[in-house]
Amino acid sequence: MYGMGIPLLFPIAAFSLFNQWVVERLILAYFMKMPPCLDDKLTKNALGMLKYAPLFFIANGYWMLSNK
């Protein structure tokens, strides 16, 4: 949400998400016996919440750029 005012956050977020992806893959491959059973409810819930993310980003970016 604060990327419009602080663009350095975009590469930091990209590195953090990549790091989390690698660590989760390693944990799943070497330490978990069997992956947890998940259905599509978790994915649908996340997509339901994320559909409002661009609106919050635009509103917060407008506020950050227009605020003196």
Domain limits at 56? 9-66
Cβ atoms of 2 and 64 within 8 Å: the answer is yes
- Supply φ then ψ for residue 40, to 5 degrees: -85, 0
- Counted domains in the chain: 1
Spell out the SS3 assignment of 9-35: HHHHHHHHHHHHHHHHHHHHHHCCCCC
DSSP-derived secondary structure letter, 8:
T
In a domain, 1, yes or no: no
Among residues of the chain, what percentage have pLDDT more than 70? 97
Residue 2 is assigned to a structural domain of this protein: no
Tens of pLDDT along 20-52? Answer: 999 999 998 888 887 677 789 988 999 999 999
Confidence at residue 35, expressed as pLDDT on a 0 to 100 scale: 67
Domain annotation covers residue 3: no
Q: Which amino acid is at 44?
A: K
Is 48 inside a domain boundary?
yes
